[in-house]
Structure 1
Amino acid sequence: MGRKSIHRERKDKTKKVEQWTQALLPKLAQTELGELTIDDLALLMNKSKSTIYQYFVTKEEIFEYITQVRIDQLKTYKNEISGELSGLNYQYETLAKILAEGVKDISPFYLKQLQIHYPDAWNIIEDFLQGLLKDLKEFYILGIENNMFKTVSPELLIKLDEYFIMQLITDHTFFNNNRQTLESAIKEYMYIKFEGLVLK
C-alpha cells in the first residue's frame, strides 16, 4: 500500500530556490528523466528531500517550475524586438543573444525527455515557441514594409523557423553527430538567416 500524501502548505519559492533548481539543468543534459525520483533530484540539488517537499509536491511540479522560470527570462525578447523595430535600428544579434542565453545549459536530449515524460512542462515551452513564431512573422512583415529586409515570403521564413524551433531543438542525434550545442546552433541559424535578409 502506497504512502498517503499529506496536504501541507508549501513555502513561496525564493530566488535561492530558483537558483538551485536552475542549477539542475546542466546535470540533466544526458539523463533519462523518466527514471528520476524525488530522491535523485534532491541529491542532484544537494538538498534534503524534506527541503524539496517544503516547496514542491511532485517531480512534475519541479520541472514545470524550472521551465517556467527559464521561459519568463526568455520573454525579454519581445521588448527588444519591438523597441528596435520602432526605431528601425534592428540588429539580429540582439535576438540571437537572448535566445542563446535562454537555452544555456539545456541540451536537445533534455528537451526531448521533457517532451516525453513531462508534457505539462513541455506545453509551457510549446506555448512560448508558438508565440515567438507569431511575433517573428509580424517582425518579418514590418521589416519588409520598412525596407529593412529584402522582399521575401514571410510564410516561407516562418516555415523555416517552425522547423528549426519545433523540430531541431529536440533532435539530439543531430547535435551529437555534429558536436554542436543549442546555443551555438541558434547563433549560427540567426546569422545565416538575417545576414541574408537585411538590405545592404
Structure 2
Amino acid sequence: MGRKATTKIRSNDVLKKKHWVSGLILKIQERDISNLTIDELSLMMSKSKSTVYEYFQSKDEVIELAVEVHLDNLRIYPVLLKNDHPDPVQQYREFLMLMCKGAHGIKASFLEDLKLVYPKAWSRISQFLLQVISDQKNFYLNGMKRGVFQEVSATLLSQLDYHFVFDIMANSKLYQDETMEQMVQDYLHVKFEGLVIS
C-alpha cells in the first residue's frame, strides 16, 4: 500500500510546483494511469516522495496541475483569433500551429483514460476545448461578416479543425514523412483554396 496523504499544512509555492510538473503529461501517458502511484510521479519529477508530499496532497492534485500547466501554454490563442488581422489565413495558420504543438504526442487513448480515472483533470481539458471551438466558430462568423470567407457552416468548419488537430496532428505516426508545419500548410491550402485545380 502506498503512503496516504495527510492533512498537514503544505507549501504553496505555485511557481515551483508548476515547474516540477511541466512536461509531465507526456510522461504520464506512457504509464497505466489507473495504477499510477505517487512514487512513479516523484521519479518523473526527479523529486523524493517526501518532497512531493510537502507540496501536494495527492497524485490527483499533481495530475490536475500538470494538465493546467500544459493548457497554460495554449491560453495565448485568443490573440491569434482577433478579427482585425489583415491576413486571416496567416493568422489562422499561426493559431493552428499553436494548437497542433499543444496536441502533439498526446494519445487519444490517454485522454479517454484521463476522463475515466481523473475526471477533474479531464474537466479542465473539456472546458478549454469547448471554449476553443466556440472562439473558432466566432472567428469564421466574423470572417463571413467581413466578406473574407464564404458563408458556410461555421460549426462544420470549427469541428473540422478540431478533428484535424486532435485526431490527426496529435498522432505523429500519421505524418512521419512530413513536418507538422507542412501538414498545417497543406490543410489550410485545401481548406481555403480548394483541392480542384480550376
- C-alpha contact 2:114 2:122 (8 A) present in aligned 1: yes
How is 1:35-50 mapped onto 2 (pairs within 5 angstroms)?
35-50=35-50
| Paired residue type of 1:53 | Y
How is 1:46-57 mapped onto 2 (pairs within 5 angstroms)?
46-57=46-57
Deviation at residue 17 of structure 1 after TM alignment = 2.7
| Structure 1 stretches lacking a partner, 5+ long | none
How is 1:67-106 mapped onto 2 (pairs within 5 angstroms)?
67-82=67-82, 85-90=83-88, 91=90, 92-104=92-104, 106=106
For 1:106 and 1:114, how far apart are their aligned partners in 2? Answer: 12
Deviation at residue 156 of structure 1 after TM alignment = 2.1
Deviation at residue 54 of structure 1 after TM alignment = 1.3
For 1:17 and 1:198, how far apart are their aligned partners in 2? Answer: 46
Whose relative contact order is higher, 1 or 2, with alpha carbons under 8 Å and at least 6 apart? 1
- C-alpha contact 2:133 2:158 (8 A) present in aligned 1: yes
Instruction: Note closer, same or farther for the CA distance 1:176–1:136 as it changes in structure 2 (3 Å cut).
Output: closer
Return the TM-score normalized by structure 1.
0.78
Paired residues, number: 190
- C-alpha contact 1:96 1:190 (8 A) present in aligned 2: no
| Structure 2 stretches lacking a partner, 5+ long | none
Instruction: Note closer, same or farther for the CA distance 1:54–1:65 as it changes in structure 2 (3 Å cut).
Output: same
In structure 2, the partner of 1:131 is: 131
In structure 2, the partner of 1:178 is: 174
- C-alpha contact 1:150 1:197 (8 A) present in aligned 2: no
In structure 1, the partner of 2:15 is: 15
- C-alpha contact 1:21 1:66 (8 A) present in aligned 2: yes
For 1:154 and 1:14, how far apart are their aligned partners in 2? Answer: 39
- C-alpha contact 1:63 1:121 (8 A) present in aligned 2: yes
In structure 1, the partner of 2:119 is: 119
Return the TM-score normalized by structure 2.
0.78
What's the RMSD between the two structures over aligned residues? 3.2
Instruction: Note closer, same or farther for the CA distance 1:86–1:189 as it changes in structure 2 (3 Å cut).
Output: same
Q: Deviations over 1:50-86 (max 9, x none)?
A: 111111111111111011112122110012211xx21
What percentage of residue pairs aligned between the two structures are identical?
31
Instruction: Note closer, same or farther for the CA distance 1:138–1:58 as it changes in structure 2 (3 Å cut).
Output: same
Instruction: Note closer, same or farther for the CA distance 1:162–1:98 as it changes in structure 2 (3 Å cut).
Output: closer
Instruction: Note closer, same or farther for the CA distance 1:148–1:122 as it changes in structure 2 (3 Å cut).
Output: same
Deviation at residue 130 of structure 1 after TM alignment = 0.3
- C-alpha contact 1:80 1:94 (8 A) present in aligned 2: yes
- C-alpha contact 2:96 2:165 (8 A) present in aligned 1: no
SS at match of 2:13: coil
